[in-house]
Amino acid sequence: MKTIVNTIILKGYDLTPIKSNILISDGKIIEISDEIFEGEIIDGTGTMICPSFLNGHTHVGDSIIKDCGDGKSIEELVKPSDGLKHLALSNCDVDEIISSMRNSMLDMIKTGTTHFIDYREGGLKGIELLKKAADNLPINPIILGRDPIFYDSQAEEDEIRKITVKLLKNCDGIGLSGFSEVSDEVCGIVTEECNKRNKIPSIHVGEYFELQKRSLKEFGETEIEKSVNLNFKLLIHSTYPTDDDLNLLSENRKLVTLCPRSNGTLNLGTPPLRKFIAKKIKLWIGTDNIMLNSPNLMREMEYTLKVMRAYYKEYIDPKEILKMATVNGYETTDNLTENNSNFYSKINKTIIDEGNDAQLLITKLISKNPYLNIINRVEASDIIAIVNKDKFLYLNDKK
Ligand SMILES: [Zn+2]
Protein backbone atom coordinates (compact mmCIF):
# COMPACT_ATOMS: atom_id res chain seq x y z
CA MET A 1 0.00 0.00 0.00
CA LYS A 2 1.42 3.36 -1.04
CA THR A 3 0.11 6.93 -0.95
CA ILE A 4 1.71 9.48 -3.21
CA VAL A 5 0.96 12.84 -1.65
CA ASN A 6 0.82 16.36 -3.01
CA THR A 7 1.11 15.50 -6.68
CA ILE A 8 -0.71 16.67 -9.85
CA ILE A 9 -2.93 13.85 -11.19
CA LEU A 10 -4.40 13.71 -14.72
CA LYS A 11 -7.70 12.20 -13.69
CA GLY A 12 -10.44 10.50 -15.68
CA TYR A 13 -11.21 10.35 -19.41
CA ASP A 14 -10.62 14.04 -19.80
CA LEU A 15 -7.19 14.03 -18.14
CA THR A 16 -8.31 16.75 -15.71
CA PRO A 17 -5.33 17.96 -13.68
CA ILE A 18 -5.99 17.97 -9.94
CA LYS A 19 -3.63 18.45 -7.02
CA SER A 20 -4.23 15.63 -4.58
CA ASN A 21 -3.01 12.40 -2.96
CA ILE A 22 -3.47 8.97 -4.50
CA LEU A 23 -3.62 5.65 -2.67
CA ILE A 24 -2.48 2.55 -4.56
CA SER A 25 -2.89 -0.94 -3.12
CA ASP A 26 -2.69 -4.41 -4.72
CA GLY A 27 -2.42 -2.87 -8.18
CA LYS A 28 -5.58 -0.76 -7.81
CA ILE A 29 -6.26 2.93 -7.37
CA ILE A 30 -8.16 2.87 -4.09
CA GLU A 31 -8.69 6.54 -3.43
CA ILE A 32 -7.84 10.00 -4.73
CA SER A 33 -8.29 12.60 -1.99
CA ASP A 34 -6.43 15.23 0.01
CA GLU A 35 -7.30 13.39 3.21
CA ILE A 36 -5.51 10.07 2.69
CA PHE A 37 -2.15 9.22 4.18
CA GLU A 38 -2.04 5.41 4.32
CA GLY A 39 0.72 2.85 3.96
CA GLU A 40 4.07 4.00 2.64
CA ILE A 41 3.95 7.76 2.09
CA ILE A 42 5.75 9.02 -1.01
CA ASP A 43 6.27 12.76 -1.23
CA GLY A 44 5.01 13.73 -4.67
CA THR A 45 5.90 17.42 -4.43
CA GLY A 46 7.21 18.55 -7.82
CA THR A 47 5.80 15.52 -9.63
CA MET A 48 2.78 14.63 -11.74
CA ILE A 49 0.91 11.39 -12.45
CA CYS A 50 -0.24 10.52 -15.96
CA PRO A 51 -1.87 7.35 -17.31
CA SER A 52 0.81 5.06 -18.73
CA PHE A 53 1.01 4.98 -22.52
CA LEU A 54 -0.55 2.63 -25.02
CA ASN A 55 1.37 2.32 -28.28
CA GLY A 56 -1.32 1.79 -30.91
CA HIS A 57 0.88 0.16 -33.53
CA THR A 58 4.28 -1.53 -33.48
CA HIS A 59 6.26 -4.19 -35.27
CA VAL A 60 8.74 -5.12 -32.54
CA GLY A 61 9.87 -8.11 -34.62
CA ASP A 62 12.13 -5.86 -36.65
CA SER A 63 13.98 -4.49 -33.61
CA ILE A 64 17.10 -6.22 -34.87
CA ILE A 65 17.32 -4.27 -38.14
CA LYS A 66 17.09 -0.67 -36.93
CA ASP A 67 17.49 1.95 -39.69
CA CYS A 68 18.14 -0.72 -42.28
CA GLY A 69 17.55 0.53 -45.84
CA ASP A 70 16.98 4.19 -44.95
CA GLY A 71 16.03 6.08 -48.12
CA LYS A 72 14.46 3.12 -49.91
CA SER A 73 10.80 3.19 -50.90
CA ILE A 74 8.13 1.66 -48.67
CA GLU A 75 7.63 -1.23 -51.13
CA GLU A 76 11.33 -1.99 -51.25
CA LEU A 77 11.50 -1.91 -47.46
CA VAL A 78 8.50 -3.75 -46.03
CA LYS A 79 6.38 -5.40 -48.72
CA PRO A 80 5.82 -9.09 -47.89
CA SER A 81 7.41 -11.46 -48.59
CA ASP A 82 10.58 -10.21 -50.27
CA GLY A 83 10.93 -6.64 -48.94
CA LEU A 84 14.32 -5.75 -47.46
CA LYS A 85 12.94 -6.22 -43.96
CA HIS A 86 11.80 -9.78 -44.61
CA LEU A 87 15.07 -10.74 -46.30
CA ALA A 88 17.14 -9.19 -43.51
CA LEU A 89 15.09 -10.92 -40.79
CA SER A 90 15.36 -14.31 -42.46
CA ASN A 91 19.13 -14.16 -41.90
CA CYS A 92 18.89 -13.38 -38.18
CA ASP A 93 19.46 -15.75 -35.31
CA VAL A 94 16.32 -16.51 -33.26
CA ASP A 95 17.97 -15.76 -29.90
CA GLU A 96 19.15 -12.41 -31.22
CA ILE A 97 15.64 -11.61 -32.46
CA ILE A 98 14.21 -12.40 -29.02
CA SER A 99 16.79 -10.35 -27.14
CA SER A 100 16.38 -7.37 -29.46
CA MET A 101 12.58 -7.51 -29.04
CA ARG A 102 13.07 -7.62 -25.28
CA ASN A 103 15.36 -4.58 -25.44
CA SER A 104 12.69 -2.70 -27.39
CA MET A 105 10.15 -3.53 -24.69
CA LEU A 106 12.60 -2.28 -22.04
CA ASP A 107 12.91 0.94 -24.07
CA MET A 108 9.12 1.22 -24.06
CA ILE A 109 8.95 0.73 -20.28
CA LYS A 110 11.68 3.33 -19.72
CA THR A 111 9.68 5.81 -21.80
CA GLY A 112 6.36 5.21 -20.07
CA THR A 113 4.57 2.54 -22.11
CA THR A 114 2.71 -0.33 -20.44
CA HIS A 115 0.66 -1.55 -23.43
CA PHE A 116 1.41 -1.96 -27.11
CA ILE A 117 -0.52 -3.41 -30.01
CA ASP A 118 1.88 -5.39 -32.11
CA TYR A 119 1.58 -6.70 -35.66
CA ARG A 120 3.33 -10.02 -35.26
CA GLU A 121 4.45 -11.94 -38.28
CA GLY A 122 5.64 -15.51 -38.58
CA GLY A 123 2.51 -17.40 -37.51
CA LEU A 124 2.39 -19.25 -34.19
CA LYS A 125 6.15 -19.31 -33.87
CA GLY A 126 6.31 -15.52 -34.20
CA ILE A 127 3.72 -15.15 -31.43
CA GLU A 128 5.67 -17.52 -29.19
CA LEU A 129 8.90 -15.54 -29.68
CA LEU A 130 7.22 -12.28 -28.71
CA LYS A 131 5.68 -13.84 -25.60
CA LYS A 132 9.05 -15.24 -24.64
CA ALA A 133 10.68 -11.84 -25.13
CA ALA A 134 8.03 -10.16 -22.92
CA ASP A 135 8.32 -12.73 -20.15
CA ASN A 136 8.16 -11.12 -16.68
CA LEU A 137 8.33 -7.56 -17.93
CA PRO A 138 5.86 -4.95 -16.62
CA ILE A 139 4.42 -4.47 -20.09
CA ASN A 140 1.38 -5.95 -21.85
CA PRO A 141 1.78 -6.88 -25.50
CA ILE A 142 -1.54 -7.04 -27.36
CA ILE A 143 -0.59 -9.39 -30.16
CA LEU A 144 -2.16 -9.34 -33.61
CA GLY A 145 -0.81 -12.40 -35.39
CA ARG A 146 -0.42 -13.22 -39.07
CA ASP A 147 0.39 -16.36 -41.06
CA PRO A 148 2.23 -16.71 -44.40
CA ILE A 149 -0.76 -18.66 -45.76
CA PHE A 150 -2.62 -15.32 -46.03
CA TYR A 151 -0.42 -14.44 -49.03
CA ASP A 152 -0.80 -17.81 -50.76
CA SER A 153 -3.23 -17.35 -53.65
CA GLN A 154 -3.45 -21.15 -54.10
CA ALA A 155 -4.46 -21.88 -50.48
CA GLU A 156 -7.83 -23.52 -49.82
CA GLU A 157 -10.42 -21.57 -47.85
CA ASP A 158 -10.76 -24.32 -45.22
CA GLU A 159 -7.05 -24.34 -44.58
CA ILE A 160 -6.93 -20.54 -44.20
CA ARG A 161 -9.84 -20.69 -41.76
CA LYS A 162 -8.23 -23.50 -39.76
CA ILE A 163 -4.95 -21.60 -39.42
CA THR A 164 -6.75 -18.37 -38.51
CA VAL A 165 -8.64 -20.13 -35.71
CA LYS A 166 -5.45 -21.71 -34.43
CA LEU A 167 -3.66 -18.36 -34.41
CA LEU A 168 -6.54 -16.71 -32.55
CA LYS A 169 -6.26 -19.26 -29.74
CA ASN A 170 -2.83 -17.82 -29.07
CA CYS A 171 -3.18 -14.10 -29.65
CA ASP A 172 -5.52 -11.11 -29.44
CA GLY A 173 -6.39 -10.66 -33.10
CA ILE A 174 -5.01 -10.58 -36.63
CA GLY A 175 -3.02 -7.76 -38.22
CA LEU A 176 -2.90 -7.87 -42.03
CA SER A 177 -0.29 -6.08 -44.11
CA GLY A 178 -2.72 -4.58 -46.65
CA PHE A 179 -5.17 -5.05 -49.49
CA SER A 180 -2.39 -5.15 -52.11
CA GLU A 181 -1.09 -8.41 -50.67
CA VAL A 182 -4.17 -10.12 -49.24
CA SER A 183 -7.36 -11.10 -51.06
CA ASP A 184 -10.86 -10.04 -50.01
CA GLU A 185 -11.62 -13.72 -49.28
CA VAL A 186 -8.79 -13.90 -46.73
CA CYS A 187 -9.96 -10.59 -45.22
CA GLY A 188 -13.50 -11.96 -44.94
CA ILE A 189 -12.35 -15.10 -43.12
CA VAL A 190 -10.12 -13.11 -40.78
CA THR A 191 -12.77 -10.56 -39.77
CA GLU A 192 -15.46 -13.23 -39.40
CA GLU A 193 -13.36 -15.45 -37.17
CA CYS A 194 -12.03 -12.52 -35.13
CA ASN A 195 -15.42 -10.93 -34.58
CA LYS A 196 -16.92 -14.28 -33.57
CA ARG A 197 -14.31 -14.65 -30.84
CA ASN A 198 -14.13 -11.06 -29.54
CA LYS A 199 -10.70 -10.61 -31.07
CA ILE A 200 -9.32 -7.66 -33.05
CA PRO A 201 -9.28 -7.76 -36.86
CA SER A 202 -6.89 -5.08 -38.06
CA ILE A 203 -5.24 -3.98 -41.32
CA HIS A 204 -2.97 -1.25 -42.73
CA VAL A 205 -5.05 1.08 -44.93
CA GLY A 206 -4.40 4.13 -47.10
CA GLU A 207 -0.86 4.57 -45.89
CA TYR A 208 -0.07 6.62 -48.99
CA PHE A 209 -2.14 8.35 -51.61
CA GLU A 210 -1.37 5.94 -54.46
CA LEU A 211 -2.92 3.02 -52.50
CA GLN A 212 -6.19 4.86 -52.05
CA LYS A 213 -6.23 5.86 -55.72
CA ARG A 214 -5.38 2.36 -56.96
CA SER A 215 -8.06 0.75 -54.80
CA LEU A 216 -10.70 3.18 -56.04
CA LYS A 217 -9.74 2.42 -59.64
CA GLU A 218 -9.61 -1.38 -59.21
CA PHE A 219 -12.48 -1.99 -56.79
CA GLY A 220 -14.59 1.15 -56.95
CA GLU A 221 -13.91 1.85 -53.27
CA THR A 222 -10.99 3.27 -51.30
CA GLU A 223 -8.94 1.08 -48.99
CA ILE A 224 -10.58 2.74 -46.01
CA GLU A 225 -14.07 2.06 -47.40
CA LYS A 226 -13.07 -1.51 -48.10
CA SER A 227 -11.81 -2.04 -44.55
CA VAL A 228 -15.06 -0.72 -43.07
CA ASN A 229 -17.20 -2.83 -45.42
CA LEU A 230 -15.16 -5.93 -44.62
CA ASN A 231 -15.69 -5.34 -40.90
CA PHE A 232 -12.17 -4.60 -39.68
CA LYS A 233 -12.16 -2.90 -36.28
CA LEU A 234 -8.75 -1.30 -35.90
CA LEU A 235 -7.33 0.53 -38.92
CA ILE A 236 -3.69 1.48 -39.14
CA HIS A 237 -2.54 4.69 -40.86
CA SER A 238 -5.45 6.12 -42.90
CA THR A 239 -3.04 8.85 -43.94
CA TYR A 240 -5.11 9.88 -46.97
CA PRO A 241 -8.82 9.60 -46.11
CA THR A 242 -11.42 11.14 -48.42
CA ASP A 243 -14.27 13.10 -46.84
CA ASP A 244 -16.52 10.08 -47.38
CA ASP A 245 -13.95 7.86 -45.68
CA LEU A 246 -13.94 10.16 -42.66
CA ASN A 247 -17.72 10.02 -42.44
CA LEU A 248 -17.66 6.23 -42.67
CA LEU A 249 -15.01 5.91 -39.96
CA SER A 250 -16.98 8.19 -37.70
CA GLU A 251 -20.38 6.57 -38.30
CA ASN A 252 -18.96 3.09 -37.77
CA ARG A 253 -16.96 4.18 -34.73
CA LYS A 254 -13.76 2.64 -35.96
CA LEU A 255 -10.53 2.98 -34.07
CA VAL A 256 -7.69 4.41 -36.11
CA THR A 257 -4.02 4.39 -35.21
CA LEU A 258 -2.03 7.18 -36.83
CA CYS A 259 1.74 6.82 -37.18
CA PRO A 260 2.97 10.33 -38.07
CA ARG A 261 6.68 9.71 -37.44
CA SER A 262 6.62 6.61 -39.62
CA ASN A 263 4.89 8.57 -42.41
CA GLY A 264 7.57 11.22 -42.02
CA THR A 265 10.47 8.75 -42.10
CA LEU A 266 9.10 7.23 -45.33
CA ASN A 267 8.40 10.59 -47.06
CA LEU A 268 4.67 9.79 -47.14
CA GLY A 269 3.23 13.06 -45.86
CA THR A 270 1.19 13.48 -42.75
CA PRO A 271 -2.30 12.38 -41.66
CA PRO A 272 -4.95 15.14 -41.53
CA LEU A 273 -5.30 15.14 -37.76
CA ARG A 274 -7.71 18.06 -37.51
CA LYS A 275 -10.18 16.38 -39.86
CA PHE A 276 -10.19 13.22 -37.72
CA ILE A 277 -10.69 15.24 -34.56
CA ALA A 278 -13.49 17.29 -36.17
CA LYS A 279 -15.34 14.04 -36.97
CA LYS A 280 -14.75 12.77 -33.43
CA ILE A 281 -12.97 9.68 -34.73
CA LYS A 282 -11.21 7.81 -31.96
CA LEU A 283 -7.51 7.96 -32.55
CA TRP A 284 -4.51 6.24 -31.20
CA ILE A 285 -0.94 6.99 -32.01
CA GLY A 286 1.69 4.38 -32.83
CA THR A 287 5.41 4.27 -33.52
CA ASP A 288 5.15 1.56 -36.23
CA ASN A 289 8.19 -0.49 -37.31
CA ILE A 290 11.11 -0.35 -34.92
CA MET A 291 13.20 -0.59 -38.07
CA LEU A 292 12.00 2.98 -38.80
CA ASN A 293 11.47 4.53 -35.35
CA SER A 294 12.23 4.12 -31.69
CA PRO A 295 9.14 2.91 -29.80
CA ASN A 296 9.21 6.09 -27.69
CA LEU A 297 5.73 7.63 -27.51
CA MET A 298 7.02 10.86 -26.02
CA ARG A 299 8.97 11.43 -29.23
CA GLU A 300 5.91 10.48 -31.27
CA MET A 301 3.71 12.95 -29.37
CA GLU A 302 6.18 15.80 -29.69
CA TYR A 303 6.64 15.19 -33.43
CA THR A 304 2.88 15.00 -33.94
CA LEU A 305 2.04 18.14 -32.01
CA LYS A 306 4.63 20.30 -33.74
CA VAL A 307 4.29 18.91 -37.26
CA MET A 308 0.52 19.38 -37.06
CA ARG A 309 0.87 22.96 -35.82
CA ALA A 310 3.35 23.65 -38.62
CA TYR A 311 1.19 21.92 -41.24
CA TYR A 312 -2.07 23.66 -40.33
CA LYS A 313 -0.50 26.89 -39.09
CA GLU A 314 -3.07 26.66 -36.31
CA TYR A 315 -3.16 25.77 -32.64
CA ILE A 316 -3.46 22.08 -31.79
CA ASP A 317 -4.31 21.31 -28.17
CA PRO A 318 -1.58 19.15 -26.59
CA LYS A 319 -4.24 17.40 -24.49
CA GLU A 320 -5.69 15.91 -27.69
CA ILE A 321 -2.27 14.46 -28.50
CA LEU A 322 -1.75 13.06 -25.00
CA LYS A 323 -5.18 11.40 -25.18
CA MET A 324 -4.05 9.60 -28.34
CA ALA A 325 -1.34 7.86 -26.31
CA THR A 326 -3.47 7.20 -23.23
CA VAL A 327 -7.25 7.28 -22.78
CA ASN A 328 -8.54 7.57 -26.36
CA GLY A 329 -10.47 4.64 -27.65
CA TYR A 330 -11.96 3.80 -24.28
CA GLU A 331 -14.45 6.61 -24.04
CA THR A 332 -16.92 5.78 -26.76
CA THR A 333 -15.87 2.39 -28.04
CA ASP A 334 -18.99 0.54 -27.03
CA ASN A 335 -18.34 -1.59 -30.09
CA LEU A 336 -15.28 -2.84 -28.27
CA THR A 337 -16.92 -3.26 -24.88
CA GLU A 338 -19.72 -5.29 -26.37
CA ASN A 339 -17.98 -7.29 -29.02
CA ASN A 340 -14.42 -7.25 -28.01
CA SER A 341 -14.30 -7.85 -24.31
CA ASN A 342 -11.01 -9.71 -24.47
CA PHE A 343 -9.28 -6.72 -26.01
CA TYR A 344 -11.08 -4.22 -23.84
CA SER A 345 -10.40 -6.05 -20.61
CA LYS A 346 -6.71 -5.86 -21.33
CA ILE A 347 -6.58 -2.10 -21.68
CA ASN A 348 -9.63 -0.40 -20.29
CA LYS A 349 -8.21 0.56 -16.95
CA THR A 350 -5.40 2.90 -17.91
CA ILE A 351 -7.73 5.73 -16.94
CA ILE A 352 -6.81 7.19 -13.57
CA ASP A 353 -9.81 6.92 -11.31
CA GLU A 354 -10.86 5.26 -8.07
CA GLY A 355 -11.46 1.53 -8.51
CA ASN A 356 -9.43 1.23 -11.70
CA ASP A 357 -6.21 -0.71 -12.10
CA ALA A 358 -3.14 1.36 -11.40
CA GLN A 359 -1.46 1.85 -14.75
CA LEU A 360 0.38 5.10 -14.55
CA LEU A 361 3.58 7.11 -14.60
CA ILE A 362 5.05 9.37 -11.97
CA THR A 363 7.19 12.01 -13.64
CA LYS A 364 8.95 15.19 -12.64
CA LEU A 365 6.89 18.33 -13.13
CA ILE A 366 9.20 20.62 -15.07
CA SER A 367 6.55 22.84 -16.66
CA LYS A 368 3.38 24.40 -15.28
CA ASN A 369 1.40 22.92 -18.19
CA PRO A 370 1.00 19.20 -17.35
CA TYR A 371 0.25 18.17 -20.97
CA LEU A 372 3.25 20.00 -22.36
CA ASN A 373 5.24 18.73 -19.41
CA ILE A 374 4.84 15.20 -20.80
CA ILE A 375 4.99 16.04 -24.51
CA ASN A 376 7.51 18.86 -24.59
CA ARG A 377 9.73 18.51 -21.52
CA VAL A 378 9.96 15.11 -19.86
CA GLU A 379 12.78 12.80 -20.93
CA ALA A 380 13.05 9.13 -20.01
CA SER A 381 15.33 10.15 -17.13
CA ASP A 382 12.50 12.32 -15.69
CA ILE A 383 10.16 9.35 -15.24
CA ILE A 384 10.46 8.51 -11.56
CA ALA A 385 8.32 5.36 -11.57
CA ILE A 386 6.06 3.30 -13.79
CA VAL A 387 3.17 1.36 -12.29
CA ASN A 388 1.51 -1.53 -14.09
CA LYS A 389 -0.99 -3.06 -11.67
CA ASP A 390 1.00 -4.79 -8.91
CA LYS A 391 4.35 -3.94 -10.52
CA PHE A 392 5.67 -0.67 -9.11
CA LEU A 393 9.00 0.04 -10.70
CA TYR A 394 11.25 2.92 -9.74
CA LEU A 395 13.17 4.08 -12.80
CA ASN A 396 14.92 7.28 -11.75
CA ASP A 397 15.64 9.38 -8.71
CA LYS A 398 13.36 12.36 -8.06
CA LYS A 399 16.34 14.75 -7.83
ZN1 LIG B 1 2.63 -1.16 -39.64
Q: Which residues contact 303 (CB under 8 A, 6 or more apart)?
A: 260, 261, 264
Q: Do domains 2-52+352-394 and 53-347 have the same CATH topology?
A: no
CB-count exposure of residue 1 (10 Å: 0-12, 13-18, 19+)? exposed
Q: How confident is the model at residue 334 (pLDDT cuts 50, 70, 90)?
A: very low
Question: Among candidates 159, 185, 163, which has minimal Cα distance to 174?
Answer: 163
Closest of 397, 389, 399 to residue 26, by C-alpha: 389
For residue 43, which phi and psi values (nearest 5 degrees)?
A: -75, 115
Determine the pLDDT at residue 111: 98
Determine the distance separating the centroid of ligand 1 and the alpha carbon of 286, expressed in angstroms: 9
Whole-number Å distance, alpha carbon 119 to ligand 1 midpoint, is 7
Give residue 343's pLDDT band: very low, low, confident or very high (50, 70, 90). Answer: low
pTM of the entire predicted model: 0.94
Q: Domain ranges for the chain, please list them.
A: 2-52+352-394, 53-347
Cα 59 to averaged position of ligand 1 atoms, centre (Å): 6
Ligand 1 center–CA 205 separation, angstroms: 10
Q: How many A from CA of 61 to the centre of ligand 1?
A: 11
Cα(58) to ligand 1 centroid in Å equals 6
pLDDT tens string 58-111? 999 988 888 888 898 888 888 877 888 788 778 888 999 999 999 999 999 999
CA of 19 to the centre of ligand 1 (A): 39
Task: Tell me how far the alpha carbon of residue 111 lies from the centroid of ligand 1, in angstroms.
Answer: 20
> Under 8 Å CB-to-CB from 271, ≥6 apart: which residues?
237, 238, 239, 258, 260, 263
Rounded Cα distance between 11 and 382, Å, is 20
**What is the amino acid identity at position 303?**
Y
Distance CA 122, CA 190 (A): 16
CA of 57 to the centre of ligand 1 (A): 6
**How far does residue 190's CA lie from ligand 1's centre (Å)?**
18
Ligand 1 centroid, distance to 279 Cα (angstroms): 24
**53-347 CATH:** 3.20.20.140
Q: Containing H/E element for 58?
A: strand 53-59
CATH topology of domain 2-52+352-394: Urease, subunit C; domain 1 (2.30.40)
Taking 60 as the threshold, does the pLDDT of residue 331 lie above it? no
| pLDDT bracket for residue 344 (50, 70, 90) | low
